[in-house]
Each structure stands twice: as C-alpha cells, then as structure tokens.
Structure 1
Amino acid sequence: MTRAMGDGALQIYSTCPQSKDVPAGEYGRAVADVARWSEAAGCTGMLVYTDNGIADPWLVAQQALAATERLAPLVAVQPVYMHPFTAASMVSSLAYLHGRSVHLNMLAGGFRNDLLALGDTTEHDDRYARTVEYTQVLLALLRGETVTHEGRWHQVRNLRLAPALPAELMPEVLISGSSPAGRAAAEAIGAVPIRYPEPLGQETAEAPAGGGVRVGIVAREDTAEAWKVAEERFPTDRKGQIAHSMAMRASDSHWHTQLSAAAQAQPATEDGEPDPFWLGPFQNYQTFCPYLVGSYDRVAAAIAHYAGQGTRVFVLDIPPSAEELDHIGEVFRRAGVAA
C-alpha cells in the first residue's frame, strides 16, 4: 500500500521487531524491511522497544533511518539507562547525520525485574515524577536552552547541547497514560498520553482528547478469514500463559492490571459478528496489547469509535508483512480517518 494511512490529523506508528525474536544475522534486514513497509504504508513512524534483553534502541533507530527517507523512529527512552543529556545528544546527533526527526516514547516503568537488576526500587508514581523531570531537562536541551536544574533526580549547571537540534526536527513525545500518574505526567511535559483500550462499550474512564491507543489489528473482508489468520498467528500457548501469569504477579503496571481484568470473551454484536476486541495474544505472552479482529467494516467501526473519542495516535503491533499493513490501511480508509 502506498497511500498514507493518516489524514494529517492522525498519526499511526508501527512497531519494530525485537532482536530476541530474530537471529542476529537477519535482524538488521528485518528492521530495515519493517521500516520500509511502514514508510510505504504511510506510517508516521515506528516504535522501537527497549528493555534489558534486546538490542539498544538508538542503534536500531539508526538502522531504520538508513533504510528510509522520512519515517521517524519512535525510540523508547528509559531514564534508568542514560542521562537526559545523552538522550538529547542521541536525538540531535541522528538529526545532524540524517536531517530527520526522532520521536520519543518516554518510559516510567518497564519489566519490574529489569529495574531491580539495575538497582532501581523506585515506586510507580515516583517513577513518573522522575520521568517528568528527566524529560523536562531533555526537551530544554533540545530547544537550545542553557540548562541549570537542581532537581530530585538530576542536577545540571550551564549545560548546553551540541550539535544543536533544528526547531523543525523537535520530537513528538509520547508516554503511557493508563494511570492517573501517567496522565498527569503527560500533561506536565506536553506529551501524548498512550493507553491500552478497553473492550468496546466497557470504557471505565474518559479518553483524553488528542491521546493515543496501543492496539494490534487483523482484518479481512470476511470475518471468519480474519479470525483464522489471527488464531494461526497467535495460537494458544500454555508456556506463554504461565509466563503471562508470572509477569502479572511481578508487575505494578496499571495497564497490565486493566487488560488482565478485561473480559476474555465478548458477546456478539447486533450484526452477529463477534466483538473484535481480543486479548488472546496478551494472555499467551505473545505481545503486549489487545487486538481488534474481524471484517474490515467491523474493525473500522471500532477504530472510528476511538477516533470519535478524540484519539489521534494509533500505535500498532509489529507487522508480519507489508501485505498485513495493506489490510490495516484498508481498515483506516473505511473508518473515514485516512487519505
């Protein structure tokens, strides 16, 4: 698909493959392929994960930039991993080398055991407070300010960034907004709050206008075909279910709790088609977001529902092929939110 998914007001990000899932000799090509598919599909950018067990996201972002012409890597930034000056320098250096923008997905948490392995025992809400302070220093540097800051977590004096970042390449900033602390952090730093959508019609909180959702999509013209594809891609996995259960016990994440509490089986809709909201991949520890599965029109109605709530950013799961992005593009076109 060569037409853009978004209509200018909407931003759609794909997600980059993780190094743990691809052999070393094939990973660079896999990153480049998904980046090119995403650009051809009209995505704004591509989320690049970070955690203790995968390749460095900044180096992966460099691979994506080299393979594309306009796609913006959405780099996950964990404050525990690096000083805010270092993160700002990564953004400005990649802009200097490529003349391109790098967007930022600011993290407050992550896998609890990853944080403990790094000696970080900071509680949930304090992690968001730390991320706010971190991001404020980072963005001030990117704006070209000389920064002096005496904070709880960071102290800098007369700090200035070089090379300077051109104003037109300032990053879009996203942050998890599933918890009250996350939503407050998003407001404090001017970031787009990203949430994991609840089952349609069962929303328990008002969606923030201008916010975003993290959701996978499998859609076809025929409902049965869509579910066949989805269940073949994400088969029931007992080991995955055990891993999911263990991860839930170790997590203090609000979105983990919200998704785990969501209904596992949804009733049929008025048109007789199964509810598209599916937690199978999440419950089998195969991915970290709910899926929308069904016919183009049914899934498009769900996307239109989220857009009608004020959602302007959609972060999709890792696409298995360029053709799958074509199917997703058809959903957005039918939802009336595509060019």
Structure 2
Amino acid sequence: MSQETNLHLYSTCPQSKDIAAADYVRTVADHSRWSEEAGCTGMLIYTDNGLVDPWQVAQTAIAATERLAPLVAVQPIYMHPYWVAKQIASIAALHGRRVALNMLAGGFKNDLIALGDDTPHDDRYRRTTEYTTIVRSLLEGGPVTFEGRYYRVSNLSLAPSLPRELRPEILISGSSDAGIQAARDIGAVAIRYPKPAEQEVGAEDLSGLSCGVRVGIVAREDAAEAWRVAAERFPATRQGAIRHALAMKVSDSAWHRQLSDLDERPAGPDSPYWLGPFQNYKTFCPYLVGSHEEVAAELARYLRKGHRTVILDIVPDAAEFAHIRTAFDRALEMVSHDRLAA
C-alpha cells in the first residue's frame, strides 16, 4: 500500500498487560502477520513502565513477517540515545530489516514521577529533540559530537553502520506547539490525535510539515451494523468515565485536553467521528465508525489535507483488518479521482 500510494499505514500491537503471558508471543506474531497482509507499513509497539520491552516485541514481529517495520516507541529517560542507534543498526545487520521510531516526550505522568523525572512538558520535547538528533546523526554516519542541555557526546561512532535504505522513519506527537517544533527540528512526522477532518489542520496549515493522524476504525457495509459492533466493543460505563476524568487531572498532554473538550459526536450525528471510547477510557484516540463509504470519505478528507501517515488503534482480528483495508482502498480511490478530475 505505502509504495503505491505514498500512504504509510501503521497498526498497533496489543499491550502485554492485556494478554496472558503464555499467549503474548503468539498474539504479537498473529497481529504482525495480519498487519502485513493488510498492507501496513509497520506496527506501533508501545512502551511504559508496565509493559514488556518494546525492542523484544519488535524481534517477535520481525521473526513473524517478511517486510513489516516495527514502529518502536522510544522513551528517552529509559536509555542512552547510543543504545537506540545500536539496536537499529544491529537489527539491520542481523535481519536486513528496517524499524521506525515513535519518539516520546511524555508518557504517563505517574511513570515519569516514579522515575524521578519532573521535567516540564515543553522541556521534555526539547530533551527529545536533542536525543533524536544524536540518534539520527549516528545512523547517518559518525563520528558525532554534540553538546546540548540534556545530552553530550564526543567523537562517537556507531558500529555496525546502517545502510541508507534502512534508515528509520521518525514520528513524534504533534498536537502541541512544542511537539510541532520538535517535529520540525528533527525532521519527524507530526502525529496528531485529530479533530473531525473538516476541523483538523493539515500540512498546509503546518507550513508543509509532514503530518499524520492516529485513529481507530470500525467499518462495515452497513452503517448500523458498524455502530452496533462499536457499541458492543466500547460500552459506555460510569467506571470508564470516572477513570477518564482522573486521567485528565494528572495529564499535561495537549491532545488529551483538546479531545476532552469535545462532545462525543462533535461533528454531528451524521459524521463517523466518535469519541466514545476515549471518553470512557477504553483507548486514547478518536474512532471513525460507519459504512465503508462513510469512513472512507472521512479518511479521504484527512488525506487531502496532507496527512500521509495513519496509525490505527489496536485491531482485534484479521477480519477487522479486511474491513479497514476496504475503507482505505475506497478513500484512496476518492483522492485519486480528485487528482484525475483536477
């Protein structure tokens, strides 16, 4: 999909805390294969204090597939930037495979406090910028000398070296001004937790910055069936609403605040855009729910605004991937028709 359409589609790996330990390796392998069969560029692998190491999960994904690129979430306070560059170069040398990086500046606030990190929001983005600059410079070839506020290296070289064609795509959250600036500084794709497509900014609004969106999708041929499936998968509960409210009190995330200020159906009852799962603490991104055509039309609006990278929420099974692929194929047809008609 990505080679033919310039669309980079990433799935998301289930989290280890949600799967029995005895089943987790198989689950990762299954989702990796389903993602590759659906035409995904790669698969996002989360990291936080309560999950298994994402680089170990990436090895499982690579072993189960032929080309899928693990999109590894990188928390700078966990490891030195040299270690990340070494992992990327080592995977390339051992497997001939590419990985991608999802650079974090935040995370769960309680995780950061537990690690003794009280760095303010915008400063965390500056720290991640320095960190990623070192990683990228090492991967492009050394030696690297860098002196910043948070990191310093001197005449540092990476071995084995990384082939140019296996250099990683780099993503970072781009819903705050600090995140957007970081994306510019490190040449990353700014990923947004989007508002409805008609209200969302695009590449032109961001002065040409590469950008993308993170969304979940439930699509069927019949819209009523899609909404039935979505309501069954993400039931509204009082407990979920309370957990969301508590999370808001300890979060300094710009996108979290932005989405929390919206209604459950902010674009109206005829729009597929839905915040029910987010508002009930079932997931952390908006959902698009409806017929294949309705979901495709909303996706096409994001694509027309220049969002050429899409990260999906966790997809439950291979059949759901097939529905998502149908929606994307139709969205790409709509965008292609626009170009032909122009």
Q: Scaled by the length of structure 1, what TM-score is found?
A: 0.94
Residue 110 of structure 2 corresponds to residue 113 of structure 1: yes
SS at match of 2:301: helix
Structure 1 position 286, deviation (Å): 1.0
Provide, for residues 98-140 of structure 1, a one-character-per-residue CA deviation record: whole Å limited to 9, x for no partner.
1000100001011111101100000010000000000000111
Spell out, residue by residue over 1:255-313, the C-alpha distance to the aligned partner (whole angstroms, 9 max, x if none). Answer: 000110112234656xxxx3111111111111110000001111111000000101100
- Distance in 2 between residues matched to 1:201 and 1:257, nearest whole Å: 19
**Preserved contact between residue 75 and residue 105 of structure 1 (Cα < 8 Å):** yes
Mapped contact 1:5–1:332 kept (Cα < 8 A): no
Any idea what SS the aligned residue of 2:190 has?
strand
The one of 203, 210, 214 aligned to 2:200: 203
State the partner residue of 1:50. 47
Q: Matches of residues 138-287 of structure 1 in structure 2 within 5 Å?
A: 138-203=135-200, 208=206, 209=208, 210-266=210-266, 268=268, 274-287=270-283
Amino acid at match of 1:227: W
| Whole-Å separation in 2 of the counterparts to 1:235 and 1:80 | 36
Across the aligned residues of Structure 1 and Structure 2, the Cα RMSD in angstroms comes to: 1.6
Alpha-carbon contact 1:5-1:329 (below 8 Å) kept: no
Inter-partner Cα distance in structure 2 for 1:203 and 1:261: 15
CA contact (8 A) 2:48 2:107 kept: yes
User: Does residue 292 in structure 1 map to residue 288 in structure 2?
Assistant: yes
CA contact (8 A) 1:207 1:311 kept: no
Once the two structures are TM-superposed, the CA of residue 164 in structure 1 deviates from its matched residue by: 1.1
Equivalent residues of 1:12, 1:45 under 8 A apart:
yes
Residue 121 of structure 2 corresponds to residue 130 of structure 1: no
Contact 2:29 2:60 in 1 (8 A): yes
Kindly state the Cα deviation for residue 5 of structure 1 after the two structures are TM-superposed.
7.0
The AA in structure 1 aligned to 2:174 is G
Q: Which amino acid aligns with 2:169?
A: E
Deviations 1:137-196 (A, max 9, x none): 011111111011121111111111111111110000000000011001000000000001
Q: How far is 1:204 from its partner? A: 6.7
Residues in 1 aligned to 2:112 and 2:55: alpha-carbon distance in whole angstroms: 19
Residue 332 of structure 2: which of 328, 331, 336 is its match?
Answer: 336
SS of alignment partner, residue 312 of structure 1: strand
Contact map agreement 1:6 1:43 (CA 8 A) in 2: no
Q: What 5-or-longer segments of structure 1 have no aligned partner? A: none
Distance 1:267 1:251, change over 3 A: closer
Which deviates more from structure 2 when the two are superposed, residues 78-87 or residues 206-215? 206-215
Preserved contact between residue 211 and residue 310 of structure 1 (Cα < 8 Å)? yes
Query: Is contact 1:199-1:263 (8 Å) kept?
Result: no
1:68 aligned partner: 65
Q: Which of 1 and 2 has higher RCO (CA within 8 Å, sep 6+)?
A: 1
Aligned 8 A contact 2:198 2:301 in 1: no
Write the distance in 1 (CA, Å) between the matches of 2:33 and 2:45.
Answer: 14
How far apart, CA to CA, are the structure 2 residues paired with 1:255 and 1:58? 26
Deviation digits for residues 14-55 of structure 1 (CA, Å, limit 9, x no counterpart): 000000100000000000000000001100000000011111
Question: AA paired with 2:244?
Answer: H
- The one-letter amino acid paired with 1:240 is G
Q: Write the distance in 2 (CA, Å) between the matches of 1:177 and 1:267.
A: 22
The answer as to whether partners of 1:85 and 1:138 remain within 8 angstroms in 2 is yes
Q: Cα deviation per residue 1:295-339 (whole Å; 9 max; x = unaligned)?
A: 111111100000010110000011101110110111011112599
8 Å CA contact 2:267, 2:273 repeated in 1:
no
SS state of the match for residue 257, structure 1? helix
- Please name the residue that 2:298 is paired with: 302
Write 1 or 2 for the structure with the bigger share of helix: 2
Q: Which ranges in structure 2 are unaligned for 5 or more consecutive residues? A: 337-342
| Whole-Å separation in 1 of the counterparts to 2:265 and 2:214 | 20
4+ runs of 1 displaced by more than 6 Å?
none
Amino acid at match of 2:216: G
Give, as a single letter, the amino acid of the residue that structure 1 aligns with 2:226. A
Cα distance change of structure 1 residues 88 and 267 upon mapping to structure 2, 3 Å threshold? closer
